[in-house]
Amino acid sequence: MSRSEPGGGGEDTIPPAAHHRPGGGFRNPWRDFAPDIPQGFLAWARAHRTTHPRPRDPDPSVFSRAVPAFSSPRAPAGDLSVTWVGHATFLIQIGGLNVLTDPIWSERPSPIFFAGPRRWVPPGVRLDALPPIDLVLVSHNHYDHFDSRTMRRLAALHPNARWLVPLELGALVRRKGALNVQEMDWWNELQLDNVVITCTPAQHWSARGFRDRGKSLWCGWTVRAGQRAVYFAGDTAYFPGFREISERCGPFDLNLLPIGGYAPRWFMRFVHMSPEEAVRAFRELINGHSRSLMVPMHFGTFKLTDEAMDEPPQRLRAAWIEAGLPASQLGVLAHGETRSLVARSESASGK
């Protein structure tokens, strides 16, 4: 993986373990990353929000809901479908497996049930209506991606599920009741029958309190079953790694990319992509493969940052048109909506 220095013309190689912090913990290996997240949050909360009025949010009814159409108990091994539960939670059916990402069914992404941003739209699938879950992928430990109450319920309902988590999150997930938990580092691979799962880099951070910043890793995930492949970016800013993820793990039929949580930009650009950056990331991920689909996430479910709730998909569509990308390659799902992807031929896959 390489990067360019701001204002410079050269590239230098990032060592494979550069995201491991000397003395323990983890960091982003790209030099343009804001070093002081807590101070940035304080500046955002105390200064920016008192001097910059936030745009008006729409009525929650602008976010439609759909009736899920996933296969139960499992889809055929050659099928691929995705159902949006909300935020970064998807049910993915690939290689005959039922895969769940960053599960959160709680009303609030918060350590306490009565405080924090309230869910705008109910989960698109009832937790007790899920098919048998084979695999749960967790990207990091922030409360809107790592929800303790949901994890306990999932572990009880699906005790045979396998949980894959980034480094130093395994013990915490086991304390929520999960029985089969495995930690993975960036670029680690795991094969389950005919399915290969890869832990991929991301630019973000981790913390659940005031003293554990960076003590556990953050990541994205790819899942490949034969010629079918999915990339789940997790929670990430734009960073110079998407092309390498595609080259090493792609091409992808399905790219699940975050588009919300980007305002104010002076601070959020270090941890969250804007819709325009998500389009840029998608173009680097598809690498000329015209059958690849982008499904946006991380918007329309919780009010976490300063942009209007309906702004991310609007800006995404505008950036999509400006980039000259085909409308058929963008799938903005309603909560609960299932999108099935037709199989691509071996010759079209480039493999």
Tens digits of residue pLDDT in 39-87 = 666 655 655 556 667 788 888 888 989 999 999 999 999 999 999 999 9
Given a contact cutoff of 8 angstroms between Cβ atoms, the answer to whether 95 and 77 are in contact is: yes
pLDDT in tens, 306-350: 999 999 999 999 999 999 999 999 999 999 999 999 765 443 444
Give the per-residue pLDDT at 34.
53
The candidate with the shortest Cα–Cα distance to 64, out of 47, 95, 86, 82, is 86
On the question of pLDDT at 161 being above 90, the answer is yes
pLDDT for position 211: 85
The Cα–Cα gap between 77 and 79 comes to 6
Rounded Cα–Cα distance for residues 133 and 256 (Å)? 19
Lowest mean pLDDT among 60-69, 125-134, 252-261: 60-69
Q: Which pLDDT band holds residue 150 (cuts at 50, 70, 90)?
A: very high
Q: What is the pTM of this model?
A: 0.90
Average pLDDT over residues 164-181: 98
Question: Beta-carbon neighbour count of residue 34 at 10 Å?
Answer: 16
* Helices 242-249 and 275-286, axial angle in degrees (round to 10): 30
Tell me what percent of the residues of the chain surpass a pLDDT of 70: 86
What integer is the mean pLDDT of 225-232?
96
Structure confidence at residue 135 as a pLDDT band (50, 70, 90): very high
Residue 8: pLDDT band (50, 70, 90) is very low
Q: What is the pLDDT of residue 48?
A: 53
Dmax over Cα atoms in the chain, in whole Å? 56
8 Å CB contact between 122 and 129: no
Report which residue type is found at 302.
F
Give 37's pLDDT tier (boundaries 50, 70, 90): low
- Would you call 237 helix, strand, or coil by DSSP? coil
**Which residue in this structure is represented by tokens 């309906």?**
310
Amino acid at residue number 80 = L
**Which range has the worst mean pLDDT, 24-38, 199-213, 285-299?**
24-38
Q: What is the CATH number of domain 68-342?
A: 3.60.15.10
- For the segment 274-293, the average pLDDT, to the nearest whole number, is 91
**Calpha distance 234→142 (Å, rounded):** 11
Number of H helices, E strands in the chain: 9, 15
Residue 200 phi/psi, 5° resolution? -115, 155
- Locate the domains of the chain by residue range: 68-342
Cα–Cα distances in Å, from 190 out to 30, 135, 195, 247, 338?
26, 12, 8, 18, 27
